[in-house]
Structure 1
């Protein structure tokens, strides 16, 4: 599998950047511009935003052949927005999607490196492993350790470096199959459940360090994270996954012993 020699100008026929977006504020425009300087094409799925960004993104797409904007009529959740983009991409023949958040937290400058890792190992998922700076809320940094511990247990320590960091490259068809096979993974639970279920299918994780930046409100940062709601959702998700893990334990043990 080969990638464009000049990724921001030449169009990739296999790999694209997918940015789900819900009421992100002005940071989304910087995110999209930064992604476009690194890759072609870039797709944005507007997940029922009501902040006016959909119209401005559509105007950007009219002036840029490398940018496509898909608009959902109502908010369905991050996972649902990603799945909508994956379905459209599959029809267009794309095989791999790099997902990144719209709020500027993820490092657009690392897009070519992640795409190159994916091209070299197309059967794998390329997972960003976050490198935090002083802007990271301590509660969020410590809290994700719990989810990471569960994800590694549920996959018999296949090597998931971080279960929550959404800057990653997925093989499109395995992820679509996982999501179409059940009704979960449509909201905040998308990122951790995706890596666990893909690992169950034998999609090996490859971890690559990547910085993450948290912006304050006065810097234009927008967060939809709700500590009680989203942690309750993660608790329910890991309860379901643990039951699935127990059912798959013989297969997972057999794989580990083989390899």
Structure 2
């Protein structure tokens, strides 16, 4: 097992994830310590089993929320607790086995080399990835890049990424959104507005079929409606911030001699 970091931890929000959560946690622990899991009001018995795993593993910590609050709310709960414990960065990954645990050290190293930045996973899809999901994310990515004046967001939806905790908590605490499925894209846009630069690293993503143990809580109508409302809000915020974003971009180019 790797030696425990005092600055960076892996944070896994989890809601009724199915059996793959245990393999996900083991894979993450094989690559990093500590690993924290935030059980977001799960009703499938996973909280109890994860707590039993944590009791036997000092590198694993489990936080159990009494009711389902949404992915963003679970990440915020974990990030606040991590900050209180002295950590500065969290790597978020899904609990369903879609994200590449073997790349945790590389993402953490990139973050440690540039701690003021956020390190964003840029998904590399297998041939069997659902086309609707692959093509649909291009719309969100286009909006996210427009809303940040193309600061360099490689992918707005992929949740395998490293956040600096302090600015993440600040932008989340400053408004009531970013608590559910809309967390990932809104986080990168608002952090860009806050001056946090994105770094992009390729990372494979795998979608599991139901017969492979895959569990998806994605609802096309509900969640695409949520994303549409989110980008409407963000675009209005972008228009308000546009003069400042243009000035920042011009200042950055002048400083770099472009």
* Range class of TM-score, shorter chain: over 0.9
1:30 maps onto 2:23 in alignment? yes
* Structure 1 position 48, deviation (Å): 0.3
1:141-178 Cα offsets, whole Å, 9 max, x none, are: 00000000000000000000000000000000000000
Q: Is the 8 A contact 1:135 1:215 kept in 2?
A: no
Equivalent residue, structure 1, for 2:255 = none
* Structure 1 position 9, deviation (Å): 2.6
Equivalent residue, structure 2, for 1:49 = 42
1:196 maps onto 2:189 in alignment? yes
Q: How does 1:168-187 map to 2 (within 5 A)?
A: 168-187=161-180
1:131 maps onto 2:124 in alignment? yes
Number of equivalent positions: 252
Q: Distance in 1 between matches of 2:28 and 2:102?
A: 8
Q: Distance in 1 between matches of 2:164 and 2:76?
A: 12
1:110-165 Cα offsets, whole Å, 9 max, x none, are: 00000000000000000000000023100000000000000000000000000000
**Runs of 4 or more above 6 Å deviation:** none
CA RMSD of aligned residues (A): 0.5
Q: Distance in 2 between matches of 1:223 and 1:136?
A: 14
Q: How does 1:1-259 map to 2 (within 5 A)?
A: 8-259=1-252
Unmatched 5+ residue regions in structure 2? Answer: 253-258
Unmatched 5+ residue regions in structure 1? Answer: 1-7
Q: Secondary structure at the match of 2:17?
A: coil
TM-score w.r.t. structure 1 length? 0.97
